[in-house]
Amino acid sequence: MAGELPFEQPLVELKQKIAELKRFGEEKNIDFTEEIARLEERYAKLAEEIYTNISPSQKMHLARHHQRPTTLDFIQHIFTDFIELHGDRLFGDDMAIVGGLARLNGVPVTVIGHQRGKDTKENIARFFGSPHPEGFRKALRLMQQADKFKRPIITFIDTKGAYPGNTAEERGQSEAIARNLRDMALLGVPVICVVIGEGGSGGALALGVGNRVLMLENAIYAAISPNGAASILWKDASRADQAAEAMKITAADLKAMDVIEEIIPEPQGGAHKDVEAAAANVKDALWRHLAELMLLSTDELREDRYGKFRKIGKFATYERV
Amino acid sequence: MFKDLFQKKKYATVPSASVHDDRPKREIPEGLMNKCPKCGTIQYHKELEKNLKVCSQCGHHLRLNALERIEMTLDEGRFFEYDSDIVSEDPLGFPDYPKKLKQQQAKSGLDEAVITGEGTIGGFPVVVAVMSFDFFTGSMGSVVGEKITRAIETAMQKQYPLIIFSTSGGARMQESILSLMQMAKTSAALAKLHEAGGLYISVFTDPTTGGVSASFAMLGDINLAEPGALVGFAGRIVIEQTIRQKLPDEFQTAEFNMKHGQLDLVVPRKDMRQTLIKLIDLHTVKGDVTHGG
C-alpha cells in the first residue's frame, strides 16, 4: 500500500505494528494469534471511525489522489466494446477529454469524460485533465452524434477546471463552455453525468448538464477550486483546506441542496483502494438511472433536464413597502 | 397600435443615477472634476457625463452601473423593472457573506448585481438585463441567475428582443455550487429562446469574465462589446502563472476578442443605442414582403 494521506496515518502505523508482530512471531516461533486478532479488530474499528468521518478537506485530497481511478479506468471496468473517437473537426484533438462509443450491459452508449494522466509525461500531454476549447467542442460533437443515433450519453467529470492559457482564450474558451451548456439542454437522449473526482468550475459543468448528476462519495464539485477561493478570500492559496470546509463541496452537501440525484458509495478508504468495487457501484447506479430515463420520450427528456436546472438556486422574496 | 398598447403600461421613471462610487480616487473637489483612470486627464464631471462617461482625451470607457446604463440606452422614462423583490440569502452559511451583501448594497446603492425589466428602445419594446460591476464585482449568485432566467423566459413569452449588458467577475464563490449551476440554468433558458426563434443581443462591458462570460454572455445571436472592455474566461494572473509568460496589454480586450472571432462588433458607447435600434429594426419584417425591392 502506498499513497496514504496524512489523516490515514494512525491506520498505517497500526498496520505496521501488526505486520511487525507477525514477522516477529514467525521468526521466533511464538504464537501471537490472539494479539494479532485483537490488533486487527482494533484496526477495523479505527478504520471505520476514520473513514466514516472524512472531512470536506480530506475528501478534497482523496478526490485529487494520484491513484484515484480516472475516466478510462472506469470505462474499462464498466463498459464493453469501447472505441475511442477523436477530434473536434475544427482545430484539433484535446487529450484532456476522451470520448467514444461503448456498450453498457449490451446497450450502445456514448461515453465522454475528462482524462487526467497517470504520470507526469501523460499529464503534460493531457494538460492535467484541463480542457482547451477543442476538448469541449469534441465532447459536444460526440454528444450531438449520440443524439442523432438515439444513444444515451454518459459523462465522467474529473477536472480542476478549463485550461487557463492564452491559446485557450484565443480559441474561445468561454464560447466553447457556454455552447455546451446551451446545447446539452437540447439533447433528446438520456444524459447521465458522474462526478468521479474533482468537479472544478465551468470546465466541469461543460460536461455536466445531465438529466441525472451522480457523485462518488469522496468526489467534490464547486464553482471555484478551494485553492482559488482561498487566494481570493484571504490572499493565501495554502488555506485551501479551510476554504474546502466553508464551500460545501462534498457529495452529501450537493445532495442536500438537490444539485445531484445520488451519492455512489466508494470502497472503504476511497475508490483507489478497490477500483473494481468502485466501478461496480458506478455501473449499478448508471444502469438503474438509465433504465428509468429510457422510458421517457425526446421531449420528456429535455423537459426533465430543463426542470432539474431551472429550480436550482436559493434566494428570498420580500415585500416592498 | 402596438405602441399605444405599450403606452398604457405603468412605467416607473428611472431615478437619475447619481452613483459616484465607480469614479477613480479624487484628488480634486468632490463631484466637480474627474480624472480618467487610464490617461489621467482631468475633466469636468459635467463634461464627462455629457460625453456618456467616455474620456474626451483617450476615449476610455468608464464603467457604468445598471441605472446609468438603462438611462443611457432606453427611451426616456420607459422602463419597468422586474423581480426587484428577490434578494440573496446565505445558502451555504458562508463566513461573512450576509455582512458583505449589506456592505455591497450600501456601497453601490443597488440590491443586486443585475437589474432586469422591460422598456422601449427607438420605440421597440425589449426585455433588458443590465449588470453592475460595483455590486459584488457583478458576480453571479442565485439571484442574478434567477433574474436573468426569468427575463429570458419573459422575452420568449412576450416575443420581445432580449438585450443583456454583462459585466462580471464570474461566479459568486460564497454560493459556490449554486452559483455554478446558474450558468447551466441561464444557458438552458437561452436554449429555449434560441429554439423559439427569439432575438438575443449580448453586450459585453468592462469587465466580463469567468462564469458569466462562459454562459449567457457568449450566447448572443449577436455579440457586441464596448471598446477596451476586458472579455475572457480565465484571469490574466492565473494564465501568466500557468504559461510562465507576460501577456501583452491588449490580451482579452474587446479588440483582441474581435480579432479572434468571438465578437460581431466593437461599438463605441455613443453609437450603442443606435446600433441596437438598427439591429432590432433589421429583425422586424416591415411592409409588404412580396413587393420588397
| Residuewise pLDDT in 10s, chain B (293 residues) | 444 444 445 555 555 444 444 545 545 555 688 899 999 999 999 999 999 999 999 999 999 999 999 999 999 878 999 999 999 999 999 989 999 999 999 999 999 999 999 999 999 999 999 999 999 999 999 999 999 999 999 999 999 999 999 999 999 999 999 999 999 999 999 999 999 999 999 999 999 999 999 999 999 999 999 999 999 999 998 899 888 999 999 999 999 999 999 999 999 999 999 999 999 999 997 666 565 54
Q: Alpha carbon of B88 to those of A141, A244, A318, B100, B209: distances in Å?
A: 37, 22, 11, 11, 21
Q: What is the mean pLDDT of residues A236-245?
A: 88
- Please report, to the nearest 10 degrees, the dihedral formed by the alpha carbons of residues B224, B194, B161, B131 taken in order: -50
**What does the mean pLDDT of chain A come to?**
95
Which of A128, A132, A160, A175 would you mutate first to test chain B, the one with the most B CBs within 10 A?
A175
Looking at residue B152, its pLDDT comes to: 98
Of A275, A271, A272, the closest CA to residue A251 belongs to A271
Looking at residue A190, its pLDDT comes to: 98
Q: Do A182 and B194 touch (CB under 8 A)?
A: yes
Q: Do B184 and A181 touch (CB under 8 A)?
A: yes
Nearest CA in chain B to A247: B176
φ, ψ of residue A205 in degrees (nearest 5): -60, -30
Angle between helices A71-78 and A275-293 (to 10 degrees): 70
Q: Alpha carbon of B269 to those of A45, A84, B44, B69, B199: distances in Å?
A: 68, 49, 19, 10, 21
Cell of B46: 459635467
B169, B207 Cβ separation under 8 angstroms: yes
Task: Chain B: give the shortest CA distance to residue A76, in Å.
Answer: 30
Task: Chain B: give the shortest CA distance to residue A311, in Å.
Answer: 8
How many Å apart are CA A280 and CA A78, to the nearest integer? 7
DSSP letter string, A57-94: HHHHHHHT-TTS--HHHHHHHH-EEEEE----SSS---
Nearest CA in chain B to A172: B262
Task: Chain B: give the shortest CA distance to residue A276, in Å.
Answer: 30
Task: Chain A: give the shortest CA distance to residue B162, in Å.
Answer: 16
Q: What share of chain A is helix, strand, coil (3-state, %, to 5)?
A: 50, 15, 30
- DSSP H or E stretch at residue B86: strand B86-88
CA quadruple B110, B113, B116, B122: dihedral sign: positive
Of residues B215, B233, B247, nearest to A181 (C-beta): B215
Q: Do A202 and B211 touch (CB under 8 A)?
A: yes
Q: What is the mean pLDDT of residues A36-48?
A: 94
Kindly give the pairing relationship between strand A107-114 and strand B222-225: unpaired
Nearest CA in chain B to A307: B185
DSSP letter string, B42-80: EEEHHHHHHTTTB-TTT--B----HHHHHHHHSSTT-EE
- Please report residues of B whose CB lies closer than 8 A to that of A317: 85-87
pLDDT tens digit sequence for A56-83: 999 999 999 999 999 999 999 999 999 9
How many Å apart are CA A241 and CA A281, to the nearest integer? 28
Looking at residue B14, its pLDDT comes to: 56
Residue with cell 491588449: B250
Q: Do A253 and B252 touch (CB under 8 A)?
A: no
Q: Do B214 and A319 touch (CB under 8 A)?
A: no
B58 annotated to bind ligand: yes
How many Å apart are CA A17 and CA A2, to the nearest integer? 16
Task: Chain B: give the shortest CA distance to residue A31, in Å.
Answer: 55
B36 annotated to bind ligand: yes
B93 burial (CB, 10 Å; 0-12 / 13-18 / 19+) is exposed
B105 burial (CB, 10 Å; 0-12 / 13-18 / 19+) is middle
Of residues A163, A175, A221, nearest to B262 (C-beta): A175
CA angle A218, A221, A223 (to 5 degrees): 160
